[in-house]
Amino acid sequence: MIGDFLTPPPTEDVQLAALRVAFPDFGFTVISVGGKRFFEAVRARGGGSLYSVTTTDAKELWQILSEPHG
């Protein structure tokens, strides 16, 4: 049987690299708070109303940054 369940999820480093390429106006890091790992994006340059986002899910971060924020 072949399926997605056999493919391991991408590592944090791979996820961060993809986010950095897709969203060059933001700086990205992974932080640990209370034993949980969080992806953090902070606007490094450019305009717009969104300044920072912190979430445990890289997919959610991708979705938020993909939305128009002015």
Residue-wise pLDDT tens digits, 21-32: 999 989 999 999
Left, alpha or beta for 34 (phi > 0: left; psi -120 to 50: alpha)? left
Residue-wise pLDDT tens digits, 30-58: 999 999 999 999 988 777 777 889 999 99
The single-letter DSSP state of residue 9 is P
**β-strand partners of 29:** 40
Q: Indicate the domain borders of the chain.
A: 24-70
CA distances from 3 to 9, 10, 32, 39 (A): 13, 16, 31, 27
Q: Which two tokens stand for residue 54?
A: 């912190």
